[in-house]
Amino acid sequence: MSNLFELLLADKAGSDRLALETLGGLRLSFEDLIQASGRMANALVSLGVKSGDRIAVQVEKSPANLVLYLASLRAGAVYLPLNTAYTLAEVGYFVGDAEPSLIVSDPQVREGVLALAADAGAGVETLDAAGQGSLAEIAARQPADFQTVARDADDLAAIVYTSGTTGRSKGAMLTHANLASNASTLVAVWRFTDRDVLIHALPIYHVHGLFVAINVLLMAGGTMIFLPKFDAGEIVSLMPRATALMGVPTFYTRLLRHPGLTTEAARGMRLFVSGSAPLLAETHREWRARTGHAILERYGMTETGMNVSNPYDGERIAGTVGLPLPGVQVRIRDPETGAPVPAGEIGMIEVRGPNVFKGYWRMPEKSAQDFRPGGFFVTGDLGTIGENGYVSIVGRGKDLIITGGLNVYPIEVEEKIDALPGVVESAVVGLPHPDFGEAVTAVAATGGGEHPTEAEVLAALEAELAAFKRPKRVIFVDELPRNTMGKVQKAALRAEFASLYG
Ligand code: AMP
């Protein structure tokens, strides 16, 4: 095993094929990327970065940001991407926890970051959305030749903090082997080749846009069209010269609202991947009717990369995340005891494979708790495996509602409410209740249009659900709160309505 960088790019040395282009007209070949990452790796070393050091990066998405990621690999450092939405106080927590030797930030927040860095003894350099800044200036003066630092399979390539909406955010330690195995598996199962052109509209501080999209396309030798952010019109107009799109479910629902999305526009595309949050079965059906393509839904997480995927050939079943990837084992266990559950029943999803992370940074007890003997990682997601072997996700374990001692899976209630006219989608949460412990509560998004009354929703559910599963209250909102990865923020809903029942 060698450095992930070598596995991604060594065979492309000297290649003038297009690796990356931007809407602004920047075009980088594979050789350009190799040279730029060499200059950047020399810059990192000149700033005192040593192998094993963490580099915390909170910058806008740009080709320079991608080059920095590659340079971090080459220098044997540990890349630590941070969501651009994090406040200075939040960045302070990550810096204190990870103790990076270098922080790369946007020039606009440099002053604040300098104060944090002084406490942590870290250096600070900048990169802006256009790829300019102090780090770019240093890199421009460096030679392109750089001897990539050798790494063992088990050495860290990245620490990615979980989006953890409750408690402390945890740093998932990902090794060179974790990332390499997941990339090569996905290249094979999703059939990526050097003829692919990916519309890259995801952020690159998260595993989906960073490791799934970038590592897969680099390894396959395909081209990425880098968009700074999601833009439905831009994506639709790029489709005729692209082959693939990776997105979160909100990409697909928003694209469906764009009149330019037609069978004709999507004719040259071969693959639409969705993940990071559940894709509604209805979106899957609508997409197919509109474009002729079945979205390929997959399931993964920061700690593991991708675990399960609908097949490339074979049936892509709406509402399921498909079959375990080659080399990945998936099993369903009782969340409390860890005992096997009868076939087809809901339980905790546990996974094992070369993609599964090494543990949480400086949290040995938490890491030990989340692994079963034998090496299965307890994902925190509840799900089932059908007779056909397809995995379905029921939701996060912590979203399970226990009301009057009985378990209610929010998805079962949400599906019934979603089907009512006037409801776009819903989120069902448990709120503190003096009698029941938790009360099943529905938050229904109406899109601002006509909608049924609370009494009508409750009446409609009467014939559908046992009384203990029915919401005690239904709250109407225009839209559900979501983060940039399209995940509904149930913790935010629980906090907002915490005192609904007194
Ligand atoms: P993250 O670590 O931010 O990538 O979030 C991982 C979590 O997103 C998983 O543990 C799941 O709860 C959720 N997730 C990812 N993909 C899917 C999917 N296809 N369907 C449902 N939930 C998903």
User: For residue range 337-385, what is the model confidence (pLDDT) as tens digits?
Assistant: 999 999 999 999 999 999 999 999 999 999 999 999 999 999 999 999 9
| Averaged pLDDT for residues 252-281 | 96
- Residue 208 CA: nearest ligand 1 atom is 4
- pLDDT tens, 34-75? 999 999 999 999 999 999 999 999 999 999 999 999 999 999
Eight-class DSSP state of 432 = E
Residue 399 reports pLDDT greater than 80: yes
The C-alpha atoms of residue 198 and residue 216 are separated, in whole angstroms, by: 10
- The answer to whether 295 and 279 are in contact (CB under 8 A) is yes
CA of 244 to the centre of ligand 1 (A): 21
- Residue 207 CA: nearest ligand 1 atom is 4
The protein residue with its alpha carbon nearest to ligand 1, atom 9, reads 301
CA of 395 to the centre of ligand 1 (A): 9
CA of 277 to the centre of ligand 1 (A): 5
Bridge partners, 21 (sequence order): 27, 225
User: Of 174, 381, 396, 489, which is best to mutate to test ligand 1, by the most ligand atoms within 8 angstroms of its C-beta?
Assistant: 381
The C-alpha atoms of residue 494 and residue 416 are separated, in whole angstroms, by: 20
User: Of 302, 309, 393, which is best to mutate to test ligand 1, by the most ligand atoms within 8 angstroms of its C-beta?
Assistant: 393
Residue 271 reports pLDDT greater than 60: yes
Residue 167 reports pLDDT greater than 70: no
Window from 10-14, 155-159, 177-181, 398-402 with minimum mean pLDDT: 398-402
Site residues for ligand 1, CB cut-off 6 Å: 162-163, 207, 275-278, 297, 299-302, 321, 379, 381, 393, 396, 485
The protein residue with its alpha carbon nearest to ligand 1, atom 8, reads 276
| Averaged pLDDT for residues 128-145 | 98
> Which ranges in 190-244 belong to alpha helices (H)?
207, 216-220, 232-238
| Averaged pLDDT for residues 237-263 | 97
Residue 253 reports pLDDT greater than 70: yes
Instruction: Give the chain's mean pLDDT.
Output: 96
The C-alpha atoms of residue 173 and residue 105 are separated, in whole angstroms, by: 22
pLDDT: which is higher, 29 or 502? 29
- Residue 396 CA: nearest ligand 1 atom is 12
Structural tokens at position 91: 């960045």
Task: Using alpha carbons, select from 235, 239, 228, 232 the residue that is nearest to residue 263.
Answer: 239
Residue 446 reports pLDDT greater than 70: yes
The C-alpha atoms of residue 126 and residue 119 are separated, in whole angstroms, by: 18
Please provide residue 272's backbone torsions phi and psi, each rounded to the nearest 5 degrees. Answer: -120, 115
| Averaged pLDDT for residues 14-23 | 98
Instruction: Report pLDDT for 495.
Output: 94
Structural tokens at position 134: 């102090």
Question: How many alpha carbons lie under 13 Å from residue 481 in its C-beta half-sphere?
Answer: 9
The protein residue with its alpha carbon nearest to ligand 1, atom 20, reads 278
The C-alpha atoms of residue 322 and residue 302 are separated, in whole angstroms, by: 19
CA of 275 to the centre of ligand 1 (A): 7
Instruction: Report pLDDT for 405.
Output: 83
CA of 248 to the centre of ligand 1 (A): 10
The C-alpha atoms of residue 246 and residue 228 are separated, in whole angstroms, by: 14
Please report, rounded to a whole number, the percentage of residues in the chain having pLDDT higher than 90: 92
The C-alpha atoms of residue 394 and residue 455 are separated, in whole angstroms, by: 27
- pLDDT tens, 288-341? 999 999 999 999 999 999 999 999 999 999 999 999 999 999 999 999 899 999
Residue 227 reports pLDDT greater than 60: yes
CA of 380 to the centre of ligand 1 (A): 10
- 10 Å Cβ neighbour count for 243? 18
Instruction: Report pLDDT for 164.
Output: 59
Q: How confident is residue 1, by pLDDT bands cut at 50, 70 and 90?
A: low
Residue 166 reports pLDDT greater than 70: no
- Residue 379 CA: nearest ligand 1 atom is 10
Residue 165 reports pLDDT greater than 60: no
pLDDT: which is higher, 89 or 153? 153
